[in-house]
Amino acid sequence: MERTLTAQLPQRVGERVRLLGWVHHIRQLGSISFLLLRDRTGLCQAVTAEPERFKLNQIQRESIVELLGRVKPEPQARQGVELELEELKILITPVAPLPFEVNRSRKKLNLKLDMLLDHRAFSLRNPEFGAVFRVQAEIVNTFREFLRQAGFLEVHTSKIIAAGTEGGTALFPIQYFEQKAYLAQSPQFYKQMLVGAGYERVFEVGFVYRAEDHATSRHINEYLSLDYEMGFIQSFRDVTRLENQLLKVMVEKLKNNCAAELEILGARLPEVGEIPELHFRDARAILKKDYGRNTEGMIDLDPEAERQLCDYAGKVYNSEFIFITHYPRKTRPFYTMWDPDDPEYTFGFDLLFRGLEVTTGSQRIHDYNMLVENIRRFGLQPENYDFYLEIFKYAVPPHGGLAIGAERLTQQFLGLANVREASLFPRDRFRLTP
């Protein structure tokens, strides 16, 4: 008999089926006993009035079992059906005590995050923790589908590089045969080069690496970056408008395809309207006037400022998102185009969502001579970037792009307290396993 998945049971009422999965829970209510089975599609209950026959009191939780029985309606059960148990076979039994129970809610477990991460693969059996990554998979899939439909080509660029994209800071050095190399902070150079190569619109889903000595709830040192770059733009707003459309589609896809996971997690998705934007100079003025911040010398936003500006966006624009644009020139990488009408500011932007930066992007410099000049202005040597600069000699169109941190976006959609909860196997300042 072929295997039936728990999610298929409502379509199999009256039929005899075979289920495979883990024993999530066993309980007895009066003369009736229930075995809760978990597989990749969810949970279902098998019911019997003969617990001794199946030796239910001897079965360890998380054992892998095979169940045979007939599907019958049961309005009070999950999905409105249950399995009338006829046969049970134990296939695999745990050989060690469980580190913790995975059949309890996160609240009842009350475990520290490090404990969950130390036993990461096991913890993902818990439906709440596992649901996070089903949502994240939908986020990434929507990113891909949306951009393909918008005429973007998916690319895969090297994660071993010769020079840093942001001046050589916060890089993980590696020994590459006789040479020194680095793990990529970003696919930035390659995205721009491929726009210039004639693809015009490219995107990538891939890990990037930041050797930043942080130990906060918002930083990890390896994260999944959702990048796109687009040529023949008129301004950076072509880039931000596209992200606005992407987020609208993403929220709809999550509503339609992840309703069960969102319910398990108690997550509230945002409404995505026309996302407002604020010039960095105006953001500083608001922080000073409305929040009493000392903004003298402020050239970037700290976490508190990000939260305050999102609070402002909620009150004034009824939006949980806000673009902060025109960041000061000294805070942005050398490839960022500056505003010719206000040269101390750039066409660089961040997207803040529920108090956290989830996107960084800009219009880029496409003129070869301007780019070389700006590299020197940053105290760097253009000859170290010959591989990157070459295509700009042969005419590259005006272009821009952005990068979205998949873990941060997942964290904010789901209301998670720590970005590590949105990483399957996080790498941070102190964690290298599992």
* Rounded Cα distance, 431 and 21, in Å: 31
CA distances in angstroms from 72 to 53, 77, 177, listed in the order given: 21, 10, 64
Q: For 295-409, where are the E strands, in sequence order?
A: 321-325, 348-353, 356-363, 399-405
Radius of gyration over every alpha carbon of the chain, rounded to an integer in angstroms: 26
Q: What CATH number is attached to the domain comprising 325?
A: 3.30.930.10
* 330 lies in the same domain as 252: yes
CB 309 within 8 A of CB 287: yes
Pairing between β-strand 42-48 and β-strand 81-92 as defined by DSSP bridges: parallel
Query: What is the pTM assigned to this prediction?
Result: 0.96
Look at the chain and report how many structural domains it folds into. 2
Q: Specify whether 218 is located in the same domain as 76.
A: no
Q: Which of 255, 7, 38, 242 is nearest to 125 (CA)?
A: 38
Is there a single domain that holds both residue 204 and residue 249?
A: yes
Helix axes 406-414, 127-149, angle to 10 degrees: 120
Nearest to 351 by CA among 362, 341, 339, 342: 362
Cα dihedral 101/106/112/113 (nearest 10):
100
Kindly report the CATH number assigned to the domain that includes residue 47: 2.40.50.140
- Prior bond of 270 cis (ω within 30°): no
Q: Does residue 83 sit in the same domain as residue 176?
A: no
Q: What is the pLDDT of residue 30?
A: 85
Residue-range definition of the domain harbouring residue 281: 127-422
pLDDT at 78: 85
Q: Which residues have CB under 8 Å from 14's CB, separation 6+?
A: 70, 71, 72
Are 69 and 159 in the same domain?
A: no
Give the span between the Cα atoms of 227 and 201, in whole angstroms.
11
Owner of token pair 């000859």:
383
d(CA 399, CA 231) in angstroms, rounded, equals 4
CB-based burial of residue 89 (10 Å sphere; 0-12 exposed, 13-18 middle, 19+ buried)? exposed
Would 212 be classed as within a structural domain? yes
Among 65, 92, 119, give the residue marking a domain's end. Answer: 92
The pLDDT assigned to 101 comes to: 94
Does residue 82 sit within a domain? yes
What does the chain come to in residues?
Answer: 434
What gap in Å lies between CA 66 and CA 253, rounded to an integer? 34
- The span from the first CA to the last CA of the chain, in angstroms, equals 37
Q: Has residue 109 been placed in a domain?
A: no
Number of H helices and E strands in the chain, helices first, is 13, 16
Helical segments of 214-359, H only: 237-257, 259-265, 280-291, 303-317
Q: In this structure, are 57 and 141 located in the same domain?
A: no
Instruction: Kindly state whether residue 41 falls inside one of the protein's structural domains.
Output: yes
Last residue of a domain, one of 92, 108, 139: 92
Whether residue 402 lies inside any domain: the answer is yes
Query: Of 92, 113, 140, which residue is a domain's last?
Result: 92
Domain annotation covers residue 220 = yes
Q: Are residues 215 and 277 in the same domain?
A: yes
Q: Is residue 105 part of a domain?
A: no
pLDDT at 170: 86
Specify whether 182 is located in the same domain as 264. Answer: yes
Same domain, 172 and 318: yes
- Whether residue 278 lies inside any domain: the answer is yes
- Domain co-membership, 14 together with 160: no
Cross-strand bridge partners of residue 160:
183
Per-residue pLDDT of the chain in tens (434 residues, 90 and over written 9): 999 999 999 999 999 999 999 999 999 998 899 999 999 999 999 999 999 999 999 999 999 999 999 999 999 998 999 999 999 999 999 999 999 999 999 899 999 999 999 999 999 999 999 999 999 999 999 999 999 999 999 999 999 998 776 655 689 999 999 999 999 999 999 999 999 999 999 999 999 999 988 889 999 999 999 999 999 999 999 999 999 999 999 999 999 999 999 999 999 999 999 999 999 999 999 999 999 999 999 999 999 999 999 999 999 999 999 999 999 999 999 999 999 999 999 999 999 999 999 999 999 999 999 999 999 999 999 999 999 999 999 999 999 999 999 999 999 999 999 999 999 999 999 999 99
